[in-house]
């Protein structure tokens, strides 16, 4: 048995274990726990490939195992989370599926579109040699973390019981009690709308298989000329992080506290930035350079 080869594979299996645990938690009124499992799995997903390259044991087994683990953690788990978000939006999280209106069931199952397109994206990644050093379509971990971030926003940032939609009067009361800004009010208000998560499922599904070269951060050298698009995006991320912490450093009346909202914001900007650069950048653009 090759001990070195077992190290990255064990890390990958840890990713899978967190994905399975997260799936269980979505049905146990613990969407926050599911989101945390996904974040931890994403960390392991980063380090398994890093460990394989560092130990010189990259191989077909690790590649296939990684895709299978990713399908569960970044394909099935976020799809179930989307299903549950939509169910919560309809006020049906605790209602058996057989007792729900047919129209609602159809809309709730639209969340599983995400899993179907994630499977397609991962299968294409495994056979596409053009993706060895770059990404074509949004990577599944980025799309999955976008989905998971809303559990963090509702449960941690706003400390809400996210399993029951809030009415206008309840939101108005919370706004006064917690000194929410209009930004906070409208964000929470919209995050309990099922239509938002249906649109999210469709949008992310299409973005994962879109024939668009996405920004990657596999630096082969550190020169500005070869990595300008990467450095510009990192500067944007740095600016957003400063804005996130700014209200904690200085008193700024009316300035929104982004907190965990910065996670989906960064991922959304990543997608938009990649799309813009793909279609408007120089014809010589090649993310492998």
* 93 pLDDT more than 90: yes
What's the first-to-final CA gap in the chain, in angstroms?
37
Residues 191-215, mean pLDDT to the nearest whole number: 94
Residues 264-288, mean pLDDT to the nearest whole number: 77
- What is residue 95's predicted lDDT score, i.e. its pLDDT? 96
Residues 160-170, mean pLDDT to the nearest whole number: 86
Residues 219-246, mean pLDDT to the nearest whole number: 85
User: pLDDT of 97-127, one tens digit each?
Assistant: 999 999 999 999 999 999 999 999 999 888 8
- What is residue 226's predicted lDDT score, i.e. its pLDDT? 74
* 165 pLDDT more than 60: yes
* 150 pLDDT more than 90: yes
How many residues are recorded in the chain?
Answer: 289
Q: Average pLDDT of the chain?
A: 89
User: pLDDT of 2-25, one tens digit each?
Assistant: 788 789 999 999 999 999 999 999
- Contact (Cβ atoms closer than 8 angstroms) between residue 144 and residue 77: yes
Burial-class residue 147 by CB neighbours within 10 Å (0-12, 13-18, 19+). Answer: buried
In angstroms, rounded to a whole number, what is the distance separating the alpha carbons of residues 128 and 230? 23
Share of the chain above pLDDT 70, in %: 93
* 289 pLDDT more than 50: no
User: pLDDT of 23-54, one tens digit each?
Assistant: 999 999 999 999 999 999 999 999 988 888 88
Q: How confident is the model at residue 138 (pLDDT cuts 50, 70, 90)?
A: very high
Tokens coding 170: 């309840």
- CA geometry: angle 100, 104, 109, nearest 5 deg: 105
- Contact (Cβ atoms closer than 8 angstroms) between residue 159 and residue 217: no
Residues 68-90, mean pLDDT to the nearest whole number: 97
* 252 pLDDT more than 80: no
The pTM score is 0.91
Q: What is the DSSP letter of 215?
A: P
* 219 pLDDT more than 50: yes
| Greater model confidence, 52 or 207 | 207
């Amino acid at each position: 048995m090759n001990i070195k080869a077992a190290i990255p594979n064990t890390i990958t299996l840890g990713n899978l274990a967190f994905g399975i645990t997260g799936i269980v938690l979505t049905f146990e009124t613990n969407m926050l726990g599911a989101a945390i499992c996904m974040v931890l799995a994403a960390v392991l997903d980063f380090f398994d490939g890093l460990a394989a390259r560092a130990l010189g044991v990259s191989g077909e087994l690790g590649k296939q195992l990684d895709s299978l683990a990713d399908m569960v953690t970044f394909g099935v788990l976020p799809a179930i989370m989307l299903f549950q978000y939509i169910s919560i939006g309809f006020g049906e999280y605790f209602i058996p599926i057989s007792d729900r209106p047919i129209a609602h069931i159809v809309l709730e199952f639209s969340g599983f579109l995400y899993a179907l397109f994630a499977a397609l994206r991962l299968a294409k990644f495994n056979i596409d040699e053009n993706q060895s050093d770059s990404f074509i379509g949004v990577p599944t971990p980025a799309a999955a973390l976008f989905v998971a971030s809303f559990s963090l926003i509702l449960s941690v940032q706003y400390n809400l019981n996210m399993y029951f939609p809030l009415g206008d009067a309840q939101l108005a009361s919370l706004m006064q009690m917690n000194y929410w800004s209009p930004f906070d009010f409208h964000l929470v208000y919209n995050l309990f709308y099922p239509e938002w998560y249906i649109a999210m499922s469709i949008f992310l599904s299409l973005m994962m298989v879109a024939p668009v070269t996405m920004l990657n951060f596999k630096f082969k050298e550190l020169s500005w000329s070869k990595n300008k698009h990467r450095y510009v995006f990192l500067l944007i991320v740095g600016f957003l992080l400063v804005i996130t912490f700014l209200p904690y450093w200085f008193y700024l009346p009316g300035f929104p506290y982004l907190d965990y909202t910065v996670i989906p914001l960064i991922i959304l900007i990543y997608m938009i930035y990649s799309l813009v650069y793909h279609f408007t950048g120089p014809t010589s653009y090649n993310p492998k350079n």
